[in-house]
Structure 1
């Protein structure tokens, strides 16, 4: 086999090894024949391939197809390979990019690698050289879909976005210490999931991980729940109760919604953290405990301190290291992965049609929605859509219906323009008391054109006139 891409060579079928099997590769080239040839060669080696005929299309493809690496031609119409690389690096800083060109020079290669391009292939190149480069790039991908044993600590966290990649790097680093951590983020972003992952990456992973929502426990019971109580400590205390601190000895205690903890109890928690011992309710004896505390909140604790609602000394005791978990709207490239994950997780819970995926329009709606409820809301929307699905692919209408009662769904440009026109025309008619001539003059449109606009939006001038005017 010989081609402009591959020189004459003895090509034998190669398959990806177990570390890179089924990896996804996006190939970008404005030459259709070379694009097809390259795709066939990589697909025959066991990789999942998606193609794009230019850089602009490639960026669009990446909103739904999450590649493990990108192979792009350098010389292309419009945005070239280097410009595409810069766009990819801004969105996915850890995603390896290989650039190929028939015009390659040593200075080009040096410049490319200095900027962060993984490799630089000069056409024509042997298929073995290509496959070796791909294999090396995939093995260096830090968040590769096929987690190694070393990545098992974060296997429940579904992501590929650069923000989450940076957060996981920080999380693994701080997991090795015993410092208290504060995770800040909106409700539904997965703060407990991250805390559990940090526990799994720590030296305490073989010991208990226990979570408690401070906002869900009544103030009168919070001390007993965390510190325990002895028999007879209060009415109904007919036996000794072991608190979460003692039960979690040697492990990690996750205090969710720490910002809602009552002021009266904050001083007791501070003392427990400082002294590393707790005193059960009704007891005169303290118990030494070895617990790492990870806390979380969606509130601004600095503001709460200024308002006298949170102790400053407790804040600094809890916040030795602070991690900020992004909202779902800040990591939209993760939405297709999360949606598919929730689909596979939920579809086994229904006996209805076998749902296999989403239509393109449905996925676009998922990606563009603002998600005020974050990942928790996304899971709920997917579950609702599966329950009502009658076709193998979830439609845009099902997603829209599931989102309908959720605030702030981002409309399309056409929908936003239509809504603006309708509201604007109605406002003009109210201001002019239904006088079309006057309203058209304000809008700087002639009467016939203005009437067409009113008809399009089903607006009747008479409906905006006062009753006294109708009887004149």
Structure 2
């Protein structure tokens, strides 16, 4: 009988609804958290979306039977104990099942003493569900993602700095939070900040804090995020957007493990694990002088690269159903499924915005669906609406910067010296910006020459 404060989760599968109800009640009274499913297909979906300690399944069911479910589990969730029940028990069935790895075989009507012994034995062999609690927000069956999560789980135990790379919308902050939960720092704060969302002076104050009167508007002392994250994890999102002067100060904090608030002459010790993330190519940024090489190697002790949604396409149905259920519960809607055509449309979409775009598409489908089943037309409309990708703040700023430079070059007819004076930057900085945005000043000159 389970005695842990966190009850073990049991997946019960049988097409006999009366038995499901009665057996669920009995097992819940004995301390199990029971999820009951009427067929193997529903059980597979539940297994992909949640963690269980043991599976107790009928052998003979319409559609996929208990052995087919066991074969699927042994492929997708190796090590998860499976116990089969049947009203048609025979020695050959039991022998065949146990030879293939089924842990136990029970004949109906069940002997509850025998069932209890088998479940106790199963729990002693089952992977600890708490081991997967840290990755609860990451829904996947992708081999590529599982390998990445294995690495993340290993690196979480140490205190090294991690750089998470990947395209926008792939879930970098979600992975950072998972690493924090799997780490010895899990009971302490996880603090996140987007380094591209604030101007330099505000970002410095947010990170390192400031003393009272350090600048106009500093009416009281502020500790800063490094001190707020003490003994925990600080997540620096879009680290590639951090201005160079702040990169120097961040490097000093990481080296000395001390932070000096703006306007203060005193440094304060901090104990913080730093996880950073970017969608940019930091090696190219180093070559262009936009990112410090010493900071790069300090942050990039371990690099984890998230795949795009298209690269983990097998996760699309799983994610879509999970997000549909979440959205329906949040909005108290009765939308609970996709038509086959709608799911096919989701599977074949390009997803330039990755998981973030999928979230938005599902939200729109739930909001507009007139029936419990989302149809293809609704998915098609949501995809079309989302195709005009709403840029991130960093993307919007880059777009503005490029258009600003083009305007300056047009006004000065490609004269770099005049353009530098006009925008208040030196020629060296201007050439770096031209390279970043693939601009050639000669294209704006009347004679095609550079000045």
Q: TM-score range by the shorter chain?
A: 0.5 to 0.7
Distance in 2, Cα, partners of 1:299 & 1:95: 39
- Deviation of residue 94 (structure 1)? 4.8
Matched with 2:445 is none
**What RMSD in Å do the two structures reach over aligned CA positions?**
4.4
Equivalent of residue 353 in structure 2, options 358, 364, 373:
373
- Deviation of residue 171 (structure 1)? 1.7
8 Å CA contact retained: 1:93, 1:162: no
Distance 1:97 1:284, change over 3 A: closer
Q: 1:287-306 counterparts in 2 under 5 A?
A: 287-306=268-287
8 Å CA contact retained: 2:365, 2:374: yes
Distance in 2, Cα, partners of 1:190 & 1:227: 26
What TM-score results when the alignment is normalised by the length of structure 2?
A: 0.63
Distance in 1, Cα, partners of 2:125 & 2:314: 21
Stretches of structure 1 that go unaligned for 5 or more consecutive residues are 1-17, 26-35, 53-60, 72-80, 410-472
Matched with 1:243 is 224
Distance 1:175 1:387, change over 3 A: same
Distance 1:391 1:141, change over 3 A: farther
8 Å CA contact retained: 1:336, 1:363: yes
Distance in 2, Cα, partners of 1:361 & 1:65: 24
Distance in 1, Cα, partners of 2:316 & 2:119: 26
Equivalent of residue 170 in structure 1, options 128, 151, 174:
151
8 Å CA contact retained: 2:170, 2:307: yes
Matched with 2:30 is none
Q: 1:188-267 counterparts in 2 under 5 A?
A: 188-267=169-248
Matched with 1:316 is 297
Distance in 2, Cα, partners of 1:139 & 1:347: 37
Which range is displaced more, 251-260 or 334-343?
334-343
Distance in 1, Cα, partners of 2:287 & 2:22: 63
Distance in 1, Cα, partners of 2:183 & 2:316: 28
Q: 4+ residue runs of structure 1 moved beyond 6 angstroms?
A: 41-47, 61-65, 95-98, 124-128, 131-141
Distance in 2, Cα, partners of 1:95 & 1:365: 34
Equivalent of residue 276 in structure 1, options 227, 239, 257:
257
Matched with 1:387 is 367
Distance in 1, Cα, partners of 2:287 & 2:367: 47
SS of structure 2 residue aligned to 1:221: helix
Matched with 1:396 is 376
- Deviation of residue 216 (structure 1)? 0.7
User: Deviations along 1:386-421, whole A, 9 cap, x unmatched?
Assistant: 111111111111111100134499xxxxxxxxxxxx
- Deviation of residue 341 (structure 1)? 2.4
8 Å CA contact retained: 1:118, 1:137: no
The answer to whether 1:182 aligns with 2:171 is no
SS of structure 2 residue aligned to 1:22: strand
- Asked which structure has the greater CA Rg, the reply is 1
8 Å CA contact retained: 1:359, 1:396: yes
- Deviation of residue 317 (structure 1)? 0.4
Distance in 2, Cα, partners of 1:137 & 1:93: 15
SS of structure 1 residue aligned to 2:191: strand
8 Å CA contact retained: 2:13, 2:40: no
Distance 1:361 1:62, change over 3 A: farther
Distance in 2, Cα, partners of 1:140 & 1:184: 36
Distance 1:297 1:119, change over 3 A: same
Distance in 1, Cα, partners of 2:280 & 2:78: 31
8 Å CA contact retained: 1:63, 1:333: no
Number of aligned residues: 351
User: Deviations along 1:108-128, whole A, 9 cap, x unmatched?
Assistant: 99xx9xxxx85699xx99899
The answer to whether 1:326 aligns with 2:307 is yes
